[in-house]
Structure 1
C-alpha cells in the first residue's frame, strides 16, 4: 500500500503543475518511486509443458523452410493452454513471420538460430502495427503477437533477421509512404483504411508485441533486423533481461517501448546501428487520440553501444513519465548519452526522469534535452512540457560538442532540473541552457576540476 501511495502521488505530480523540488529529499523520493514501479513488474508466467519444434517437422539444416512447423507448434500450444516451444541446436530457416499465441515461451537453446527469409512478400498480408508513431497496417513483424498475455522469448540462441539484402535497402525509397502515413495521422484517417505493405517501402520490426500483457524477453542474441529490433507497443508488465545485440543495419534500434508501461530493462549488451533504448508514445494526432503514456520504465546495469544510449522521443505525443536509468556503462561509442527530443508538433509531456551513476567514454553530447528537435513545428503551438529531472553521477571522458544542453521554448520552458556530481573530462561547450526555469548544478566538474588556487609570488 505504501508503494502504491508513493506511485500515485508522483503520477499526480506528473500530470499537474510541476512541484517545487526540495533537492535534499529528491533522491529519496526517486528511490521510493522506482521501488514502487519495480513492485508492479513480474514478466510472463511460463508453462511447465514443453514441446520441440522438431517434432512438428522443423529441421535445423538452414535449408528446409520451418515456418509450417512453428505455426503447427503454436496451434498445439494454444490447444494445450500453453507450452514452452523448444528450438534445439541448429539453424532453422523460416520463410515468413512467426505469430505468437498466449501462454507460449519460445525457448531458443544455445547453438540454435532462427533465421528469417529476407523475401518481403512472405510477410504479407498486412497486420495491425505502427510505424514511427503512426498506427497503420503494414508488413508483419517477423515475430509478432497482438492482444496476448504471458508470452516470452528466452534462451542463449540467436534471432537473425537476415534483412541486409532487401529491407535494409529500403530507406531511400520510404519517403512517399512515410509522408502518406503522416498525412493520414494528421487527417485522422480511420486505421482500417491505412493499408500499406507492398509498394510503400515501410520496413517491419523484427519483434513486436502489440497490446500484450506479461512479457519476458531474456538472453537471446539479436542481429540483422529489418527495422527496429524489439518494439513493445501498447503493452505492459515487461522484462527485457540479458539480451545481446549485434544489429547494425539501418534503424536497428535495440528496444522501443511505445505507449507501454511497467517495464524493466536490465543487463543488456547493446551494439546497435541506431538508438539503444528509444521510449516513445505515438506521433502527433495518433499519440493524442490512440496512444497512452509510456511510463514506469527502469533501465539498469546495461552496456551501451550505438547511436544514442537512452532516448525519449521524438514520437512522444501521449507523454513519457517515470523513467529511471541507473548504474549503466558503455561497451563502445555513443553519440549521445541521455537524449530528450521533441518539438512544437508533438505536445504531450516528459517528466520524472531520474539518471543515477552512468558513465560513457567519448560522446558528442552527454545530456541533451531539446524542445526544438529537427527544427520542425516552429509555427505550431503543441508545446511539450519537460521537467522534473534529476541527474546524479553522470560521467564521460570527453564531450566533443556539449556537456549539458537544455533547450526549452518561451511558451514552455524546461523546468525543475538538478544536475549533481557531473564529471566531464573535456568538453567543447560545457553548458548551454535556453528557456529554462529552476535549474540547479551541484558538484559539477566540466573540463576537469579546478583544484587549489595558485598563490601570488
Structure 2
C-alpha cells in the first residue's frame, strides 16, 4: 500500500468513526422546524348540533355539520364531550381544525363497509388507488389535529376482520396495476375487493398534531401519515390487536416527531414506508426522511420497522430512549427485497431496552426471499447502547446479497444476555463492533491445569 492509499484509508476510517455518533444536532434541527398547527378561536360542541353520546344514535350528520361550520369560520375546534358517539361513516377533515375528543369520550365507528363509500384516493400497502375511505381522513389539509384524552374505536374486529381471508385477489390486482403503471384514476377497488381501510389517514397534509388520544380496534393500519410533512404524534396510547394493526406508518413522509407513545399493537409499532416497487421507484424525489422516534414504550409484533415497502427510499431516521413493556417479535427490523430497489441509509438507534424478543436487531435485503432485478442499497446503520434480556432466536442478523452488500454498520455497546444464535452476518462490509456482548460476558482466561 502506498502512502496516498494509506492516507485515504485513514481519512475514510476517521470519517466513518465520526459519522456513527448519534447526531443530536440534526435531531434538534428536525424537531425545531416541525410546525404545530394553529387554530382560530371558533369552537363548536357536537352536542349543540344534536349529537348524542348514548352509544346508539348515529352521529354522522352532527360531525359533518361541525366540520362544515369550522370550514365556514376558516377553522376551529370541534369538541366531543364525555359519552360514546356512534358514527356510521367517515369523518373528513378540512384545514385549520382540531378534533378534540375529551376525557371519557369515545368515537365508535360503524363496521358496515357501505358506510365508507364513495371511494377516496388512498393507498394500500404501498400502492396508490381508490378504496373505502379511511375512518378519519384528510386530503390536502393544513393545520389539523386530533387531541384530547378520549378514544377512537375502529370496530375492526368483526366485519372488517373477515376481509383478511378474502383480500388476496384485490391485493394482487393492486400490485399488478402498480407494476404495469395503470393510471391511478383507473385503480378502483372498494366493494368486492376486500381491502380494509386505515383508521386514520392524512394524505398530502402539513402541520399535523395527534396528541394524547387512545386508538383501539382498527380495521387495518391505525395512523397512516401519507405524503405529509411537519407531523407531531405524542402521548398517544394503543390497544389495537387485529390483523395488520400497525401503530404508525409514515409513508413518503417528511419531518416527523413520534414521542412518548405507548404501543400495544397486533403488528408493527412504527413501520416506516415509502411506496412499493415500480410506483415507489418513480417517486425517489419524495423519500421518507427526517423521522425522530423517542421515549416510546413498545409492545406488539415489532418495535421500529423500515420496509418492506420502501422503494422511494428511507433516510435520516433517529430512534432513541425507547423500551419494551411486553412482547416483541423483533426489536429493530430493517427489511427489503429484490423487488423494491430504493435505499435505506443514515439510520441511528441508541438507548433501547428490550426484554424478551425473537430477534433483537435484524437487517435483511432478502425479505421473504422474493423478487429480482431491484436490490436495495442499505448503508450507514448505527446502533449504540442496546440491551436485551433474551433473544429466543438471533441476537444480530445482517443479510445482504453477494453483489449488493450492506455497508457501513456500527454496533457499539450492545448487550444481549441470552440468544439461541448470537450473530448471523453475511454479505456485509465494513461492519464495526465495539463492546458487543451476546450471552455471558467473558472474564479473564482461566489458568492451565
TM-score over 0.5 for the pair? yes
In terms of mean alpha carbon deviation, does 35-44 or 62-71 score higher? Answer: 35-44
| CA deviation map 1:142-173 (0-9, x unaligned) | 00000100000001000000121111121110
- Cα pair 1:47 1:105 within 8 Å, conserved: no
Matched, 1:143 2:136: yes
Matches within 5 A, 1:397-408: 397-408=389-400
Specify the alignment match of 1:3 in structure 2: none
Specify the alignment match of 1:239 in structure 2: 232
The 2-side partners of 1:47 and 1:434 are apart by 56
Matches within 5 A, 1:191-230: 191-230=184-223
Specify the alignment match of 2:182 in structure 1: 189
- Cα pair 1:224 1:248 within 8 Å, conserved: yes
Matched, 1:355 2:346: no
The 1-side partners of 2:405 and 2:14 are apart by 16
- How far residue 41 of structure 1 moved from its aligned partner, in angstroms, is 1.3
2:337 to 327, 343, 365: 343
| CA deviation map 1:110-149 (0-9, x unaligned) | 0000000111100001000000000000000000000100
Specify the alignment match of 2:401 in structure 1: 409
The 2-side partners of 1:396 and 1:415 are apart by 24
Matched, 1:39 2:32: yes
Specify the alignment match of 1:381 in structure 2: 373
Matches within 5 A, 1:420-439: 420-439=412-431
Specify the alignment match of 1:294 in structure 2: 288
SS at match of 2:328: strand
| CA deviation map 1:228-268 (0-9, x unaligned) | 00000000000000100000011110000000010000000
Specify the alignment match of 1:418 in structure 2: 410
Matches within 5 A, 1:156-175: 156-175=149-168
Q: TM-score, normalised by structure 1?
A: 0.94
Specify the alignment match of 2:320 in structure 1: 326
Return closer, same or farther for 1:21/1:160 CA change in 2, 3 Å cut-off: farther
SS at match of 2:394: strand
1:71 to 64, 86, 97: 64
| CA deviation map 1:326-382 (0-9, x unaligned) | 0000110000000010011000000000001001111111110100001101xx221
Specify the alignment match of 1:13 in structure 2: none
The 2-side partners of 1:233 and 1:365 are apart by 29
SS at match of 1:428: strand
- Cα pair 2:302 2:330 within 8 Å, conserved: yes
Q: TM-score, normalised by structure 2?
A: 0.95
The 1-side partners of 2:444 and 2:261 are apart by 41
Specify the alignment match of 1:453 in structure 2: 445
Specify the alignment match of 1:9 in structure 2: none
- How far residue 395 of structure 1 moved from its aligned partner, in angstroms, is 1.2
- Cα pair 2:22 2:348 within 8 Å, conserved: no
Specify the alignment match of 1:264 in structure 2: 257
Structure 1 alignment gaps of length 5 or more = 1-18
SS at match of 1:327: strand
Specify the alignment match of 1:129 in structure 2: 122
The 2-side partners of 1:66 and 1:100 are apart by 16
- Cα pair 1:321 1:350 within 8 Å, conserved: yes
Structure 2 alignment gaps of length 5 or more = 1-11
Structure 1 residue ranges, 4+ long, deviating more than 6 angstroms after superposition: none
Return closer, same or farther for 1:398/1:341 CA change in 2, 3 Å cut-off: same
Specify the alignment match of 2:436 in structure 1: 444
- How far residue 455 of structure 1 moved from its aligned partner, in angstroms, is 2.2
The 1-side partners of 2:243 and 2:21 are apart by 41
- How far residue 20 of structure 1 moved from its aligned partner, in angstroms, is 5.6
The 1-side partners of 2:374 and 2:219 are apart by 32
The 1-side partners of 2:440 and 2:22 are apart by 30
The 1-side partners of 2:396 and 2:74 are apart by 52
The 2-side partners of 1:275 and 1:29 are apart by 24
The 2-side partners of 1:20 and 1:210 are apart by 42
Return closer, same or farther for 1:28/1:360 CA change in 2, 3 Å cut-off: closer
- How far residue 186 of structure 1 moved from its aligned partner, in angstroms, is 0.3
SS at match of 1:76: helix
The 1-side partners of 2:154 and 2:22 are apart by 42
The 2-side partners of 1:384 and 1:67 are apart by 45
- Cα pair 2:105 2:150 within 8 Å, conserved: yes
